[in-house]
Amino acid sequence: MTLMKEPDLGTPAQPGEATVTVEIDGMPITVPPNTSIMRAAAMTGIDIPKLCATDSLEAFGSCRLCLVEIDGRKGTPASCTTPVAEGMKVRTQTPRVEKLRQGVMELYISDHPLDCLTCSANGDCELQDMSGVVGLRQVRYGYEGENHLDLLTDSSNPYFDFEASKCIACSRCVRACSEVQGTFALTIEGRGFESKVSAGGVDFMSSECVSCGACVQACPTATLQEKSVVELGMPTRSVVTTCAYCGVGCSFKAELRGDELVRMVPYKGGDANEGHSCVKGRFAFGYATHPDRQMNPMIRESIEDEWQVVDWETAISYTARKLLEVQAKYGSGSIGGITSSRTTNEEVYVVQKMVRAAFGNNNVDTCARVCHSPTGYGLNQTFGTSAGTQDFKSVAKADVIVVIGANPTDGHPVFASRMKKRLREGAKLVVIDPRRIDLVRSPHVEAQYHLQLQPGTNVAIVNALAHVVVTEDLVAKDFVAERCEGYEEWAEFIARPENSPEATESITGVPAADLRAAARLYATGGNSAIYYGLGVTEHSQGSTMVMGMANLAMATGNIGRDGVGVNPLRGQNNVQGSCDMGSFPHELPGYRHVSDDAVRETFEAVWGRTILPEPGLRIPNMFDAAIDGSFRALFVQGEDIAQSDPNTKHVFAALESLDLLVVQDLFINETAKMAHVFLPGTSFLEKDGTFTNAERRINRVRPVMAPKTGKHEWEVACEIAQAMGYPMSYNHPREIMDEIAALTPTFAGVSFDRLDKLGSIQWPCNEKAPEGTPIMHVDAFVRGKGHFVPTTFVPTDERSTRKYPLILTTGRILSQYNVGAQTRRTANVAWHPEDLLEIHPHDAEVRGINDGDEVSLSSRVGETALRAVLSDRMPVGVVYTTFHHPVTGANVVTTENSDWATNCPEYKVTAVQVGLRTPVPPKQGAGFDQIPVTVLD
């Protein structure tokens, strides 16, 4: 529940036009057919008492508190389960229903602890509220008989308690877990008086529960309650803001008591999440006040020196002076910056502006380089815009869902819940992934086809799917003829025998018959939608694969309406925004190339500086140039490149070569350990600005508290620029957004005022689309005609060899986030305290590895150690790990191979060997490369 109440109309909205007119307590109202009496009443402002109903769940009709009388009908039906009918006259307050309601409440209260005054939910309890609403004045039954008051509390979950003695068996939690979250962890066990909520017969922590909090949110009593509320007390104020973890971009009410954040409650009015959340956004915010957090600027001449704490003025002037010194000595292009996908659009914008206008070059890149840069390239080439085509809601209209190289239940959990709901309604699912992700089979969801391909063969698969579409005459000919170009050339290419499922089977490992069946389903199954993740982009042919998926969608006409599209599931909260804001070395905000004279002139007129027409350095080029000696100083905002970028040794060599490394972050991360200047960053709770999620939705990030460091990050970038001689200042981040809107056609209609009014806006937002654009390419593609691009499959250079016979692929787990800087500093470590290596039992057996053994993981570039877990989720020959813990440093082994078009690293394919570690412990302080291993060859 939440103290900051949003309207609860009792039952969900029904689709369709409002055509049924009823009268409730004399008030007429017209609503869509199948609307419940309870909802219709609430829409007229009449709240019927309720306990088991809430508008996020289907009506259940168990508590009998919402009884009403209907003229001409016998009895007292439950208003939550009774739909309206034309001409119906309903009375919600009659002596008869009032008496019945009091009787129901009396029974509830007679089996409920009467500790309201000291209960943690006092003031936030629907049972308490309803007692007052129904006018309960006495409870005739004592506590002598059988009751539930001695039931024990389950405190196993780190974030919430289950105080069973307070449960009224309304089943809202059970239904929230199944209907909203789709995990089905809870049931009501027993019947009648014996009915009780059960997490499958074990405690919450040992159950299937994924700690999304939906049950806590749904519970009308203090039974399921956040521990933070028990410890800190009921919050007293709330601020609506946006989650800073993944690209779903869930809206939350940050609820505070004074200045202390008590809990994050998912906001029903948030269009991305509509009141749902996952364990990270809901509970894992403690890192913002973790003792490791650095609040003061620090400088040092050499990384051998101790840090010196300084004030902001000193840190900024020191940084500016050093940057200018490097430029004076090595040239204007010897310095650069990396923006962060964790920061706001406004913060990203000022950093790229600082680089372009104050540094005087285009050496700015972003961490999107290492995740979704191929999305930008591929979708731009084919559709004309570097972003996904749909809003999240669109999945509710999909008939066939194809998930490629993504693991939504772990990586994008709230969207996964939407997707699973649609799958439970009957949509078909195709999963294309080397690993058997949870979606392949989970409660009430089963993929029709799991195409378990060999890592690195995506393009062969997408070509084979398209081959079936073209050669079996499944092409949407009218769509292609009217809306696309380049079809003939592409069709000739794709129909070649080498692209057939039979020819590619030996490369991909996917049976031709399965692939043909999946292709037919996609082409003929109704609305077909593709959702994809880093398993598509982080390959040497990442951009090719993105274009391959776009080709497939165009060939089948699955673009430009609800339920279809090509949709990247973006990793970080603002990875879309950081790309939109001109973080790439070749593009100004709005994806406009720096070589375009007219575009540059627009920016030059406002910025008052000349912008170079040549693209600057990408991150990998910066590293290479640092090692060569031509690139000498780097400003890194909010990215731990030493942990997240591939080939750690190479990254360290580059960072060690710099004369000046400036890191702005919350913590002394692996990169900051190599830095000369540390500038403390702000957490999302302190930020004021906007994030843009994976559906191009611009959400407001509102400050819940003042910056704990004393300065906003946008102010820091402005002050460095000023100290370098370039005047850059704003009074408020809204002015930065105004500048973005003035200079970026796709943002032309965006402002803080408009966002506050509309809640959120999906770009493009301009004169043509003043309220934004949920679905793109509706009547025409952004580039005019959709462009088919032939996508020749080129095998990666990274092959398994005698020395490195296994292929490593990597991914995320639900409870942890990227390099773990935040989630490792929360109670989420309870679920994932270390990275594990998943290895097929066959591969383990031939190496003498048992479940839980410590193993070495080595590639041609490095070696690390971690514990093995035997799993048949991967095919034989493929191993899998996460990269959340620096102690494992999974990127020690990933190589410098990268996407041909964008340099996005090929994280998903690394030839490795795995061996049982000898029992000799590493020397103290030993690096990963000194860990002794037994190499089996």
Contact residues for ligand FES (CB under 6 A)?
Answer: 50-53, 61-66, 78, 80
Question: In angstroms, what is the minimal distance from the CB of 334 to ligand SF4?
Answer: 38
Count Cα neighbours of 727 within 13 Å in the Cβ-side half-sphere: 2
Closest to ligand FES by CB, 66 or 521: 66
Burial class (CB in 10 A: 0-12, 13-18, 19+), 444: exposed
Judged by CB under 6 A, does residue 169 bind ligand SF4? yes
Question: In angstroms, what is the minimal distance from the CB of 216 to ligand SF4?
Answer: 6
Closest to ligand FES by CB, 64 or 196: 64
What's the token pair of residue 591?
A: 């994806």
Judged by CB under 6 A, does residue 185 bind ligand SF4? yes
Judged by CB under 6 A, does residue 221 bind ligand SF4? yes
* Cβ atoms of residues 223 and 167 within 8 Å: yes
- Residue recorded with tokens 């599931």: 569
Question: In angstroms, what is the minimal distance from the CB of 54 to ligand FES?
Answer: 9
In the set 277, 457, 541, 544, which binds ligand SF4 (CB under 6 A)?
277
Question: In angstroms, what is the minimal distance from the CB of 48 to ligand FES?
Answer: 8
In the set 36, 211, 744, 895, which binds ligand SF4 (CB under 6 A)?
211
Q: DSSP per residue over 705-738, as a string?
A: S--TTSS-HHHHHHHHHHHTT-----SSHHHHHH
Check residue 206 and report its DSSP letter.
G
Closest to ligand SF4 by CB, 241 or 540: 241
Question: In angstroms, what is the minimal distance from the CB of 52 to ligand FES?
Answer: 3
Whole-angstrom distance, CA of residue 146 vs CA of residue 647: 65
Name the binder of 51 from ligand SF4, ligand FES, none, CB < 5-8 A by kind: ligand FES
- Determine the distance from the C-alpha atom of residue 118 to the mean position of all C-alpha atoms in its chain, rounded to a whole number: 38
Closest to ligand FES by CB, 66 or 579: 66
Question: In angstroms, what is the minimal distance from the CB of 134 to ligand FES?
Answer: 12
Judged by CB under 6 A, does residue 181 bind ligand SF4? yes
Which segments within 227-357 are labelled E, that is strand?
237-242, 251-257, 260-266, 298-299, 308-309, 335-339
- Residue recorded with tokens 């948030």: 270
* Cβ atoms of residues 30 and 21 within 8 Å: yes
Whole-angstrom distance, CA of residue 859 vs CA of residue 857: 7
* Secondary structure (3-state) at 566: strand
* Cβ atoms of residues 766 and 746 within 8 Å: yes
Closest to ligand SF4 by CB, 177 or 878: 177
* Cβ atoms of residues 851 and 805 within 8 Å: no
Name the binder of 63 from ligand SF4, ligand FES, none, CB < 5-8 A by kind: ligand FES
In the set 70, 168, 402, 807, which binds ligand SF4 (CB under 6 A)?
168
Residues paired with residue 430 on neighbouring β-strands, in sequence order:
402, 449
Check residue 923 and report its DSSP letter.
P
Question: In angstroms, what is the minimal distance from the CB of 742 to ligand SF4?
Answer: 29
Whole-angstrom distance, CA of residue 631 vs CA of residue 333: 7
* Secondary structure (3-state) at 646: coil
Name the binder of 413 from ligand SF4, ligand FES, none, CB < 5-8 A by kind: ligand SF4
Q: Among the candidate windows 221-229, 290-298, 627-635, 851-859, which touches ligand SF4 by CB under 6 A? A: 221-229
Question: In angstroms, what is the minimal distance from the CB of 868 to ligand SF4?
Answer: 28
Task: List Cα–Cα distances, 665 to 291, 326, 607, 645, in angstroms.
Answer: 14, 23, 27, 17
Judged by CB under 6 A, does residue 210 bind ligand SF4? yes
**Helix count (H) and strand count (E) of the chain?**
28, 39
Question: In angstroms, what is the minimal distance from the CB of 383 to ligand SF4?
Answer: 25
Question: In angstroms, what is the minimal distance from the CB of 437 to ligand FES?
Answer: 37
Residues 6+ away with beta carbon under 8 Å from 169 = 62, 188, 195, 196, 197
Q: What angle, 0 to 180 degrees and rounded to 10, lies between the N-to-C axes of helices 126-134 and 95-110?
A: 140
Name the binder of 167 from ligand SF4, ligand FES, none, CB < 5-8 A by kind: ligand SF4
Prior bond of 613 cis (ω within 30°): no
- Quickly count: other Cβ atoms within 10 Å of residue 85's Cβ: 12
Name the binder of 732 from ligand FES, ligand SF4, none, CB < 5-8 A by kind: none
Question: In angstroms, what is the minimal distance from the CB of 39 to ligand FES?
Answer: 11
Name the binder of 65 from ligand FES, ligand SF4, none, CB < 5-8 A by kind: ligand FES
* Cβ atoms of residues 352 and 363 within 8 Å: no
Hey, which residues between 384 and 413 contact ligand SF4 (CB under 6 A)?
Answer: 412-413
Judged by CB under 6 A, does residue 105 bind ligand SF4? no
Closest to ligand SF4 by CB, 594 or 701: 701
In the set 128, 131, 171, 762, which binds ligand SF4 (CB under 6 A)?
171
Amino acid type, 321: R
Judged by CB under 6 A, does residue 173 bind ligand SF4? yes
Per-residue x/- marks for ligand SF4, 228-247, CB under 6 A? ---------------x-xx-
In the set 10, 213, 434, 749, which binds ligand SF4 (CB under 6 A)?
213
Name the binder of 185 from ligand FES, ligand SF4, none, CB < 5-8 A by kind: ligand SF4
Name the binder of 183 from ligand FES, ligand SF4, none, CB < 5-8 A by kind: ligand SF4
Name the binder of 214 from ligand SF4, ligand FES, none, CB < 5-8 A by kind: ligand SF4
Question: In angstroms, what is the minimal distance from the CB of 385 to ligand SF4?
Answer: 23
Question: In angstroms, what is the minimal distance from the CB of 606 to ligand SF4?
Answer: 33
Four-point Cα dihedral 236, 238, 244, 246, nearest 10: 100
What's the token pair of residue 460?
A: 């062969």
Burial class (CB in 10 A: 0-12, 13-18, 19+), 4: middle
In the set 414, 465, 569, 675, which binds ligand SF4 (CB under 6 A)?
414
Per-residue x/- marks for ligand SF4, 278-307, CB under 6 A? x-xx--------------------------
SS (H, E, C) 408-459: HHHHCHHHHHHHHHHHHCCCEEEEECCCCCHHHEECCEECCEEECCCCCCHH
- Quickly count: other Cβ atoms within 10 Å of residue 923's Cβ: 10
Please give the radius of gyration of the chain, using alpha carbons only, rounded to the nearest integer.
Answer: 29
* Cβ atoms of residues 839 and 770 within 8 Å: no
Q: What angle, 0 to 180 degrees and rounded to 10, lies between the N-to-C axes of helices 619-628 and 648-657?
A: 60
End-to-end CA distance of the chain: 58
Name the binder of 888 from ligand SF4, ligand FES, none, CB < 5-8 A by kind: none
Question: In angstroms, what is the minimal distance from the CB of 129 to ligand FES?
Answer: 13
Name the binder of 224 from ligand SF4, ligand FES, none, CB < 5-8 A by kind: ligand SF4
- Site for ligand SF4 (CB under 6 A): how many residues? 41
Judged by CB under 6 A, does residue 130 bind ligand SF4? no
Question: In angstroms, what is the minimal distance from the CB of 354 to ligand FES?
Answer: 56
Judged by CB under 6 A, does residue 53 bind ligand SF4? no
* Cβ atoms of residues 720 and 316 within 8 Å: yes
Closest to ligand SF4 by CB, 307 or 415: 415
Question: In angstroms, what is the minimal distance from the CB of 225 to ligand FES?
Answer: 21
Whole-angstrom distance, CA of residue 163 vs CA of residue 676: 51
- Residue recorded with tokens 């609403």: 133
Question: In angstroms, what is the minimal distance from the CB of 182 to ligand SF4?
Answer: 9
> Where does this chain bind ligand SF4 (CB under 6 A)?
167-173, 176-177, 181, 183, 185-186, 197, 209-215, 218-221, 223-224, 243, 245-246, 248-250, 273, 277-278, 280-281, 412-414
